[in-house]
Amino acid sequence: MIDAYTDRWALVTGASSGIGAELAPRLAARGMNLVLTARLEEQLHEPARELHTSHGTQTEVIVCDLSETDSPRTLFEEVSRREIDIELVVNNAGFGHVGQVEEAPLDDLHKMIRLNIEALMDLTYRFLPAMLDRGHGAILDVSSLAAFQPVAYMGVYSSTKAFVLHFSEALWAEVRDRGVTVMAVCPGTTRTDFFDVAGVPAWLQKHSSLSADRVVKVALKAMERRKQFVIPGWRNFLLSMLVRIGSRRTVVRESMKYFRPQKPTTKSDS
């Protein structure tokens, strides 16, 4: 668990939208200073000003596309150059793709793997040793309810989120006795613009959803309790249990009914 929030620093990737944008002010309200990173500079400076005005927090902006090779190292080195000790890393940057196999954009899928898996892993291993040396700190990884099963039409995305969940749980076990917490938050359908851009806007109408604010509240409470993972929403938790009851064949075939795309596209949260 984080030893204390006040005057400590948090790094939030994908801070310009979705869960990342919701999380930043909640951390600032707890007295944390923030390093915000995303691909687009213009989407970071206004939130940074608002955080300073509302909470008096120090906020550093680092523009970085973490899907690019070597960008996690560049981000880490820039944080180090600014002499900032990171107490909390929020690995939120990521994106998804919904589409038929024959229409899959291979370049985007490779980019998804670099961002959702490689960048998250890289940043974790770069920032974690200093936390272990200090004996306190935390890493919050944004996974998904999709991590608990294969999902038709979102095969690469659900696989990347399964990696995030397993990776986070493994590290949780390794570092929990050394004062550091690694936790995965696994939200289900969340009310952001992800589904509109992904070409499946009806998902929000057809399926129960939570606000990004609710997901953040649950995630922070669970992290403070040093849990290994958390699934916001009782309905989502029950769904994660149900997929363990059915056969794997049944589970993945059933997913086709719910995730059939209207059109293939991608949505970036970074």
Q: pLDDT higher for 77 or 242? A: 77
pLDDT tens-digit readout, 46-74: 888 899 888 988 999 999 999 999 999 99
User: Smallest Cα–Cα separation from 115: which of 68, 166, 154?
Assistant: 68
What whole-number distance in Å separates Cα of residue 229 and Cα of residue 120? 16
First-to-last C-alpha distance (Å) of the chain: 26
Residue 186 has pLDDT above 70, yes or no: yes
pTM as predicted: 0.90
Catalytic, out of 5, 153, 157, 258: 157
Mean pLDDT of the chain: 88
Q: To which CATH superfamily is domain 9-268 assigned? A: NAD(P)-binding Rossmann-like Domain (3.40.50.720)
Rounded to whole angstroms, how far apart are CA atoms 184 and 166? 9
177 compared with 48, residue with greater pLDDT: 177
Percent of the residues in the chain that have a pLDDT greater than 90, as a whole number: 62
Encoded amino acid at 153, one letter: Y
* Residue 125 is a catalytic residue: no
Q: Are 238 and 61 in contact (CB under 8 A)?
A: no
Q: Which residue would you say has higher pLDDT here, 228 or 249?
A: 228
What residues does each domain of the chain span?
Answer: 9-268
In this predicted structure, the answer to whether residue 247 has a pLDDT above a threshold of 60 is: yes
DSSP result, the chain: --S--TT-EEEEESTTSHHHHHHHHHHHHTT-EEEEEES-THHHHHHHHHHHHHH---EEEEE--TTSTTHHHHHHHHHHHTT--EEEEEE---EEEE--GGG--HHHHHHHHIIIIIIHHHHHHHHHHHHHHHT-EEEEEE--GGGGS--TT-HHHHHHHHHHHHHHHHHHHHHGGGTEEEEEE---SEESSHHHHTT-THHHHHS--EEHHHHHHHHHHHHHTT-SEE-SSHHHHHHHHHHHHS-HHHHHHHHHHHH--SS-EEEE--
pLDDT in tens, 193-231: 555 544 455 554 555 667 888 999 999 999 999 999 999
Q: What CA–CA distance (Å, rounded) separates 223 from 230?
A: 9
